[in-house]
């Protein structure tokens, strides 16, 4: 077989055809890819536009209404009156006339001391009075006789004066005897130990058979008056002007609240201490409560809310809507296009739940209350219902319009 010889001209011609084919193939692939990237309806060389993603937030509506402003503190319940019942004479207890924890009335007998020694003292004082009365009666008759004898000249005036002096002396003695009888009777009455106030008896410290003395430091029982009852508490000294002004306008309402937020009783401010505590810069107050249901008990700790004033027609918003920055307080207001605007606000008063806005917001506006850390001015937002709210689940749009 004769071999086929290839000339140099043929080699150059073949190389040129291969290069042209490869270039054409690459151009075709590029054209296909470029067309696919444009997509339907897009013109060549058009710029790609990205849409802003809405940031989910929780919002609330600015409202107008009356807002009670409270001053809060921690108080201690105290008995309106508290008495340690003690023996006023020495002796042995022979009877206990009350039950521990029992309600007692003023004048009720709580305990009895052996009355025999003091009954004997009363009888002795009465006998002495009767003896001196007999002597006084005899002295008066002697005076009458001396007066008749002196008138007839059979007795001297000195004898008459002596008889008159003896009568005056015995009259004074009888008066002293009467006082001694009364004193002995008082001591005898002290053998029946009575409650000086109406209230609740506590735990007794002595039983029947014990010897008590008037000088004993410890009493027999403590009686506390629970109706009405006091709550004592201290507040910062700068609350004094407001509460004094409020008291001049009438009764100042005070609420006693439990640790779990339950309202126990409502009373009124009754006492403002006459001096500020310089060590703590606080001043003491007392509120009085009827306590008919015994909701308050001496020694109990309660939270106190004092109604210092009521702001009428105040513009209010959730406290979480108000933020603080380098330029002061501000809030994010939601516009009709669902974009937020940063609005400076002036807060007149606030607590952990509510803020009164003096300047910067108007009723029916909608403000962001949660999620502010993810937004700034002109951010597009999506209002969502707070977790656990009625009428929506997390991730669902909240019902309601958007304020201006």
Residue 172 in any domain: the answer is yes
pLDDT score of 385 more than 60: yes
Predicted pLDDT at 388: 58
Long-range contacts of 169-173 (CB under 8 A, 24+ apart): 170/132, 170/135, 170/136, 170/139, 171/136, 173/132, 173/135, 173/136
Residue 259 lies in domain = 70-80+222-311
Read off the CATH number of the domain in which 240 is found. Answer: 2.40.30.170
pLDDT at residue 389, as a whole number:
54
Residue 327 lies in a domain: yes
pLDDT at 351: 86
SS3 of the chain: helix, strand, coil, percent, to 5:
30, 35, 35
Structure confidence by residue, pLDDT tens digits, 209-263 = 999 999 998 899 999 999 999 999 999 999 999 999 999 989 999 999 999 999 9
Please check whether residues 102 and 142 belong to one and the same domain. no
Total domain count, the chain: 4
103 and 201 part of one domain: yes
Q: Identify whether 27 is part of a domain.
A: no
**Whole-number pLDDT of residue 316:** 95
376 burial class (0-12, 13-18, 19+ CB within 10 angstroms)? exposed
- Condensed to tens digits (0 to 9), the pLDDT of residues 81-134 reads 999 999 999 999 999 999 999 999 999 999 999 999 999 999 999 999 999 999
- Is the pLDDT at 43 greater than 50, yes or no? no
Mean local confidence (pLDDT), 279-291: 96
Mean pLDDT of the residues in the chain: 84
274-299 average pLDDT score: 96
């Amino acid at each position: 077989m004769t071999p086929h010889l290839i000339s140099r001209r043929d080699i150059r011609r073949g190389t040129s055809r291969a290069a042209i084919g490869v270039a054409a193939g690459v151009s075709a692939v590029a054209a296909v890819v470029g067309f696919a990237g444009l997509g339907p309806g897009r013109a060549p060389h058009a710029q790609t536009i990205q849409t802003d993603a809405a940031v989910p937030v929780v919002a609330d509506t600015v409202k107008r209404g009356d807002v009670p402003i409270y001053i809060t503190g921690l108080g201690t319940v105290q008995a309106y009156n508290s008495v340690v019942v003690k023996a006023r004479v020495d002796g042995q207890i022979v009877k206990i006339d009350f039950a521990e924890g029992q309600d007692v009335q003023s004048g009720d007998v709580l305990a009895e001391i052996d009355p025999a020694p003091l009954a004997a003292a009363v009888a002795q004082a009465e006998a002495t009075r009767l003896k001196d009365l007999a002597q006084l009666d005899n002295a008066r008759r002697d005076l009458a006789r001396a007066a008749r004898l002196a008138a007839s000249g059979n007795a001297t005036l000195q004898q008459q004066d002596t008889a008159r002096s003896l009568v005056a002396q015995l009259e004074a003695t009888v008066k002293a005897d009467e006082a001694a009888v009364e004193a002995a009777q008082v001591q005898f009455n002290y053998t029946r130990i009575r409650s000086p106030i109406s209230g609740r008896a506590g735990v007794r410290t002595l039983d029947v058979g014990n010897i008590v003395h008037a000088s004993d430091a410890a009493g027999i029982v403590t009686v506390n008056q629970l109706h009405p009852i006091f709550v004592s508490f201290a507040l910062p000294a700068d609350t004094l002007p407001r509460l004094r002004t409020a008291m001049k306008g009438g009764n100042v309402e005070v609420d006693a609240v439990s640790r779990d937020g339950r309202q126990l009783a409502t009373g009124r401010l009754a006492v403002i201490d006459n001096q500020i505590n310089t060590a703590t810069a606080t001043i003491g107050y007392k509120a009085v409560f009827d306590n008919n249901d015994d909701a308050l008990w001496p020694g109990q700790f309660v939270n106190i809310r004092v109604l210092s004033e009521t702001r009428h027609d105040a513009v209010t918003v959730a406290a979480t809507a108000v933020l603080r920055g380098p330029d002061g307080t501000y809030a994010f207001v939601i516009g009709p296009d669902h974009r937020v605007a940063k609005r400076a606000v002036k807060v007149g008063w606030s607590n952990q739940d509510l803020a009164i806005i003096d300047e910067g917001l108007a009723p029916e506006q909608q403000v962001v209350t949660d999620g502010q850390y993810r937004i700034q001015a002109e951010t597009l937002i999506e209002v969502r219902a707070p977790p656990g709210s009625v009428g929506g689940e997390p991730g669902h749009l909240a019902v309601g319009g958007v304020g201006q």
